[in-house]
Amino acid sequence: MKFIITEEQQERLSGYDKAQKMFSKYWDRHGPQADKTFFKMIGFNNTFIQIGDNLLSRSDIFRMLRNWYGGDNSMKKAIEIFDGKTFTINNCGGYQFDFQITQFFHDEEDGFYFTAKPDIENGIVDLIMVGGGRQNLKDAINSDDYGWEIEGEIADCIYELLFDKITETTGQQVAIEKLELD
């Protein structure tokens, strides 16, 4: 099968290939990392980086990192990072708790969707804004006034940690699909 592309499309692909080679050389020398320091070093402006005539987004760079791993290796590395492990949230907006990944689904384009189980029996939260002081996570979640907000913030804290550990080292995107709170 033949594909016919325009000169503009060819130039875009050529620029993308040049960027892939440049980043691959960096990762070969320094290891796989696409964190805040990396993006700052390459001149990323929170929206894109311009390489030649091409604008590359964060997603483009994460895709290049997945390509650097090759095939399913990026997915396998991500699974190594989280499979069977307990993670600790120490200071995420006043939250402290452990959690585990209990289920996941992987989509080749979108990355990982996780079900996480935070330890709400032993976790705590400092309720600064509502004047509640330090409270057990289970009690905070069961509050009619702000329990829904606590659940959302727990999911945000888990997302941030998994993004740092998985997305920034493998290029695999992460999403928290569900929390097991029983």
**Residue 28 falls inside a structural domain:** yes
- Rounded to whole angstroms, how far apart are CA atoms 15 and 21? 10
| pLDDT attached to residue 14 | 72
17-64 pLDDT, tens digit per residue, is 888 999 999 999 999 999 999 999 998 988 888 887 788 999 999 999
> Which residues touch 144 (CB under 8 Å, ≥6 apart)?
none
Q: How confident is the model at residue 6 (pLDDT cuts 50, 70, 90)?
A: confident
Specify whether 93 is located in the same domain as 112.
yes
Specify whether 89 is located in the same domain as 169.
yes
pTM reported for the whole predicted model:
0.88
Q: Name the β-bridge partners of 174.
A: 112
Specify whether 139 is located in the same domain as 66.
no
Domain count, the chain: 2
**Residue 105 falls inside a structural domain:** yes
Domain of residue 60, residue span:
7-70
Map residue 89 onto helix, strand or coil: strand
Specify whether 125 is located in the same domain as 156.
yes
**Residue 2 falls inside a structural domain:** no
Specify whether 88 is located in the same domain as 56.
no
**Residue 98 falls inside a structural domain:** yes
Q: Could you tell me what percent of the chain has a pLDDT over 90?
A: 73
| pLDDT attached to residue 132 | 67
Q: Which parts of the chain fold into alpha helices (H)?
A: 7-30, 36-41, 58-69, 73-82, 137-141, 147-162, 168-170
User: In this model, does residue 130 exceed pLDDT 70?
Assistant: no
Q: For residues 157 and 93, is the Cβ–Cβ distance under 8 A?
A: yes
